[in-house]
Structure 1
Amino acid sequence: MTRALAMVSGGLDSILAAKVVKDQGIEVIGICFKSYFFNEENARRMVKQIDIPLEVVDFKEEHFKMVKNPKNGYGKNMNPCIDCHAMMMKYCGQLLEKFNADFIITGEVLNQRPMSQNRSALDKVKNESGIGSKILRPLCAKNLKPTEMEENGLVDRERLLNIQGRGRKIQMELADKWGIKEYPSPAGGCKLTEPNYSVRLKELLSHNQNPEERELELLRIGRHFRVTPKAKVISTRTQEEGEMIKSLLNEGDTILLVQDFNGSMIVIIGEATEEVISIAAKIAIRYSKGKDEPKVTVRYSEFGSKDHRTVEEICATDEEINSYLI
C-alpha cells in the first residue's frame, strides 16, 4: 500500500492536503515539529478530525540555531519560513525510510504568502531540502509541474487541486464539506510571525546569543523593559500572567510588589543592582494604584526567599517608561 508522510503544522491547509491524499486510498501519517516557537497542540487536534496518526519531532536546538542566522533571511518579522520549511522537509526525508513511506505531503499553496510561497520560494525549499523529488503539494499541484509520484501513478493528478493566491474561500468550503470544524487562524501557531514577540527576541539575542529556554518563554509574558545590558524588567498585566511567570522564575530572579497599593508584579531577570532595583521600583509604581502618590514603598526579594526588603521611590515618568520599553 502506498504510504505518505504529511507535514502537519496545526493549520487548515496542511490537514486539507493530508485529506486530499488520504481520500485516494493512500495511508497518511502526520508529522509535526516542535520547537521553542511552536508546538504540536493544534496538530493533535487537527489530525483527529481526519483520523490519521501523528508523529512529533522535537528539533528545538537545531531550529533555534537556524533562526539566529537563516540562510534565506527572515519574513516580515523574525520568521525564517524558507529555511524552516526546508529543514522540516529534510527531517521528513530522513523519516521516509523509518516509516517505509513513499513521499511527503505539504499544505503549501502557490502565492498564498508573497515571500515564502511564491514559485521561486517553493522551488528553493524543494531544492534545499535534499528530497525535492519526494515532495507533493496537493492543494496547488495542478499549478505546478507533475511530480514523480503523479507520473509513476502513485497519485492521481486529476484528484489534486489548483488552489492559488491568498484567498481562503476554497479551503473553508473544503473544511465544511469534510466536517473539519475547528482550525486556527493562518500562521497563528508560530511566535516568530508575531511582531511584538519578534522585537523582543531580536533584542534578547543582541544581549545574549545563547539564552535559556525559560528566557524564550518569558518573552510571551507581560511588558518588557531593558534597564541595563545585564538586566531586564518584566511587568505582568494580569493575574494569569503573574501565575505564568512564577513557573518560569529561578533563584536569583528578583520580585517587586508595591506595598500599599494593588498593581503589577515586577520581575528582574539578571543583575539586580541598586540602580536596577530603583528603576524596577519606579516601573512597579507606574503600573499600580499608587502612581499618583508623591512617594511609594516597594517590597522586593529574591524568588523563593522570605527575606523582604523595601525601597521608597517615585513613579516612573512616561519618558523613562518609553526609554526602557522593548
Structure 2
Amino acid sequence: MTKAIAMISGGLDSLLAAKLIKNQGIEVIGVCFKSYFFNEDNAKRMTAQIDIPLEVVDFSEEHLEIVRNPKHGHGKNMNPCIDCHAMMMRYSGELLKKFNADFIITGEVLNQRPMSQNKGALQTVKKESGVGDKILRPLCAKNLDPTEMELSGLVDREQLLDIKGRTRTAQMELAEKWGIVDYPSPAGGCKLTEPNYSKRLKITLENTPTITKRELELLKIGRHFRVNNGATIISTRTADEAKSIKELLNENDTVMLAKDFSGSMIVILSKDPSLSDIEYGAKLTARYSKGKDLGVITIKYGNYSKPLNKIVEAAAATDEEINTYII
C-alpha cells in the first residue's frame, strides 16, 4: 500500500493536505515538531479529526541554533522559516525509512507567505532538504511542476489543488465539507512570529552566550524590562501569568509585591539585585498595583520560596520610566 508522511504544523492547511492524500486511499502518518518556540498540542488535536497517527519529533536544541544563525535569514521577526522548513523536511526524510513510506506531504500554499512560500523559497527548501524529489504540496500542486509521485501515478494529480495567494476561502470551504471545525488561526503556533517575544529573544541571544530552557520560557510571560546593568525584571499581567511564572522561579530570583494592595508580581532575575534594581522594581510594583494613585506605598520583597521580609517605600513608576526599559 502507498504510504505518505504528512508534516502537520497544527494549522488547517497541513491537515487539509493530509486529508486530500488520505482520500486517495493512501495511508498517511502525521509528523509534527516541537521546540522551545512551538509544541505538538494543536497537531494532536488536529490529526484526531481525520484519524491519522502522529509522530512527535523534538528538535529543540538544533532548532535553537538555527534561530541564532539562520543561513537564509529571519523573517519579519525572529522566525527563520526557510531554514526551519528545510530542517523539518530532512527529519521527515529520515522517517520515510522508519515507516517505509513513499513520499512527504506539506500544507504549503504558493505565495501565501511572502518569505517562505514564494516559488523561490519552495525551491530552496526542496534543495536544502536533501529529499526534494519526495516532497508533494497537494494544496498548490497544480501551480507547480509535476512531482515524480504524480508522473508515476502514485498520486492522482487531477485530485490535487491549485490554491495560491493569501486568501483562505478555498481552505475554509474544504474544512466545512470535511467536517473539520476545530482549527487555530493562521497566525498562531510559533512564538518566533510574535513581535514582542522576538524582540526579547533577540536581545537575550545577543547578550547571553548560552541560554537555558527556563530563560526561554520566562520570555513568554508578562512585561519585560531590561535595566542599565543588564538585569531583567518581569511584571506579571494576570493571575494565570503569576501562576505560570512560579513554576519557573527558584531561590535565586527576587520577588516583589505591594504590601497592602493587590496587583502584579514583580520578579528580578537576580538573587542579589543592585540598589537601582530594587528601586526600579519597587516603582514597577507600585505602578502595577491597586495603590498606584496613592503616592508612596510599601513594597515587600525577598528571594522566592522564602519570606518576603524586606521592605522598601516607592511611588509608581512614571510613563517615561516605564518606556525607558520596557522591551
TM-score (norm 2): 0.97
Q: How many residues align?
A: 326
Whole-Å separation in 2 of the counterparts to 1:27 and 1:228? 57
CA contact (8 A) 1:11 1:187 kept: no
CA contact (8 A) 2:300 2:308 kept: no
Residue deviations 1:138-158 (CA, integer Å, cap 9, x gap) = 000011011111111111111
Whole-Å separation in 1 of the counterparts to 2:85 and 2:228? 36
The residue that corresponds to 1:224 in the other structure is 224
The residue that corresponds to 2:287 in the other structure is 286
Task: Sort the Cα spacing of 1:275 and 1:208 in 2 relative to 1 into closer, same or farther, 3 A.
Answer: same
Give identity over the alignment, percent: 67
The residue that corresponds to 2:324 in the other structure is 323
Mind listing any 5+ residue stretches in structure 1 that lack a counterpart?
none
TM-score (norm 1): 0.98
The residue that corresponds to 1:267 in the other structure is 267
Moved more, 145-154 or 309-318: 309-318
The residue that corresponds to 1:34 in the other structure is 34
Residue deviations 1:45-99 (CA, integer Å, cap 9, x gap) = 1001111000000000000010011111111111111111000001101111011
Deviation at 1:228, TM superposition (A): 3.6
Structure 2 letter corresponding to 1:178 = W
Structure 2 letter corresponding to 1:109 = V
Partner SS for 2:32: strand
Does residue 247 of the first structure (1) align with residue 247 of the second (2)?
Answer: yes
Deviation at 1:229, TM superposition (A): 3.8
Deviation at 1:40, TM superposition (A): 0.4
Whole-Å separation in 2 of the counterparts to 1:28 and 1:77? 33
Residue deviations 1:176-228 (CA, integer Å, cap 9, x gap) = 11111110011311111111111111121122132211111111111110014
CA contact (8 A) 1:236 1:264 kept: yes
Deviation at 1:264, TM superposition (A): 0.9
Moved more, 118-127 or 186-195: 186-195
Whole-Å separation in 2 of the counterparts to 1:78 and 1:140? 27
The residue that corresponds to 1:192 in the other structure is 192
Whole-Å separation in 2 of the counterparts to 1:99 and 1:229? 53
Moved more, 2-11 or 150-159: 150-159
Whole-Å separation in 1 of the counterparts to 2:255 and 2:12? 41
Residue deviations 1:256-278 (CA, integer Å, cap 9, x gap) = 00112222110011351222111
Partner SS for 1:14: helix
Moved more, 204-213 or 4-13: 204-213
CA contact (8 A) 1:13 1:107 kept: yes
Partner SS for 1:33: strand
Structure 1 letter corresponding to 2:173 = E
The residue that corresponds to 1:50 in the other structure is 50
Structure 2 letter corresponding to 1:70 = P
Whole-Å separation in 2 of the counterparts to 1:153 and 1:160? 13
CA contact (8 A) 1:207 1:229 kept: no
Structure 1 letter corresponding to 2:274 = T
CA contact (8 A) 2:301 2:309 kept: yes
Partner SS for 2:225: strand
Deviation at 1:315, TM superposition (A): 2.2
Whole-Å separation in 1 of the counterparts to 2:125 and 2:111? 14
The residue that corresponds to 2:81 in the other structure is 81
What is the root-mean-square deviation of aligned Cα atoms in Å?
1.1
Whole-Å separation in 1 of the counterparts to 2:307 and 2:260? 18
Deviation at 1:129, TM superposition (A): 0.5
CA contact (8 A) 2:72 2:82 kept: yes
